[in-house]
């Protein structure tokens, strides 16, 4: 499979659409453990990305992601802004100069993007953050690819692993951020960052299935 920059933009727009449609649910999750604005925050960031996609006329997927990173960062003032901006910048670096993307480019994008989030935020598996969805997802993605599975099948494995990780956050005590102040009271609630992470990867995978 080869993805053009137009198709890459289509995938990013599909994520934005899903974030927009689920923003109230994400904020509802956040009300249990935080400020209650995670859905609105993610919506602002992804709508800024859509505006950048509409403006961008180049053919370099890496350059596009660098611009997307700055758009997200400028739109989102909370801690999630630098995390996803770093993800897009890391992804932009590995896709620099590419007008078309191969399957392995997509895998590498997600791998370095998630590594960027972890490097910036320092969260570990079990801290009750978005990493509890992202890390199992990327592990599953890379394992599936190493077993010779196709890109979409590998992403499906990643989505399933990410969903399991997301749901498991309900059993965890938050270790980072505002929700950590709740201590044991943070259990029983899915982490909103993990929920949006799962939503992002799921939307990407569903959209890729449609364009392939």
Q: Per-residue pLDDT tens for 139-149?
A: 999 999 999 99
- Residue 52 CA to residue 175 CA, distance in Å, equals 34
Mean pLDDT of 200-210: 98
Mean pLDDT of 187-208: 94
CA-nearest of 125, 113, 132, 86 to 204 is: 113
The pLDDT, as a whole number, for residue 172 is 76
pLDDT of residue 180 exceeding 60, the answer is no
The pLDDT, as a whole number, for residue 3 is 97
- Ranking 9-23, 83-97, 158-172, 176-190 by mean pLDDT, the lowest is 176-190
Contact 2, 102 (CB under 8 A): yes
The pLDDT, as a whole number, for residue 79 is 85
The pLDDT, as a whole number, for residue 174 is 67
Is the C-alpha dihedral spanning 110, 116, 121, 124 positive or negative? positive
pLDDT of residue 9 exceeding 90, the answer is yes
Q: How confident is the model at residue 182 (pLDDT cuts 50, 70, 90)?
A: very low
Mean pLDDT of 67-77: 95
- Residue 85 CA to residue 67 CA, distance in Å, equals 10
- Ranking 29-43, 71-85, 90-104, 122-136 by mean pLDDT, the lowest is 29-43
Domain ranges of the chain: 3-211
The pLDDT, as a whole number, for residue 178 is 57
pLDDT of residue 137 exceeding 60, the answer is yes
CATH 1.25.40.340 is right for the domain spanning 3-211: yes
SS (H, E, C) the chain: CCEEHHHHHHHHHHHHHHHHHHHHHHHHHHHHHCCCCHHHHHHHHHHHHHHHHHHCCCCCHHHHHHHHHHHHHHHCCCCHHHHHHHHHHHHHHHCCCCCEECHHHHHHHHHHHHHHHHHHHCCCCCCCCCHHHHHHHHHHHHHHHHCCCCHHHHHHHHHHHHHHHHHHHHHCCCCCCHHHHHHHHHCCCCCHHHHHHHHHHHHHHHHHHHHC
pLDDT in tens, 156-177: 999 999 999 999 999 877 655 5
Nearest-10 Cα torsion for 149, 195, 7, 3:
-30
């Amino acid at each position: 499979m080869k993805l053009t920059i137009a198709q890459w933009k289509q995938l990013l727009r599909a994520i934005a659409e899903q974030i927009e449609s689920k923003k109230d649910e994400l904020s509802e999750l956040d009300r249990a453990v935080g400020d209650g604005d995670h859905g609105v925050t993610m919506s602002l960031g992804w709508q800024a990305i859509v505006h950048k996609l509409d403006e961008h006329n180049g053919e370099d997927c890496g350059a596009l992601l660098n611009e997307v990173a700055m758009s997200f960062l400028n739109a989102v003032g909370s801690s999630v802004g630098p995390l996803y901006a770093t993800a897009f910048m890391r992804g932009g670096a590995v896709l620099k100069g590419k007008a078309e993307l191969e399957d392995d480019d997509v895998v590498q994008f997600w791998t370095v993007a998630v590594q960027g989030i972890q490097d910036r935020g320092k969260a570990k598996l079990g801290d009750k953050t978005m990493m509890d969805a992202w890390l199992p997802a990327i592990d599953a993605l890379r394992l599936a690819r190493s077993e010779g599975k196709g890109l979409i099948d590998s992403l499906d494995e990643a989505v399933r692993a990410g969903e399991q990780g997301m749901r498991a956050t309900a059993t965890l005590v938050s270790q980072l951020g505002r929700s950590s102040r709740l201590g044991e009271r943070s259990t029983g609630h899915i982490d909103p960052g993990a929920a949006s992470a799962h939503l992002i990867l799921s939307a990407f995978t569903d959209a890729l299935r449609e364009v392939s």
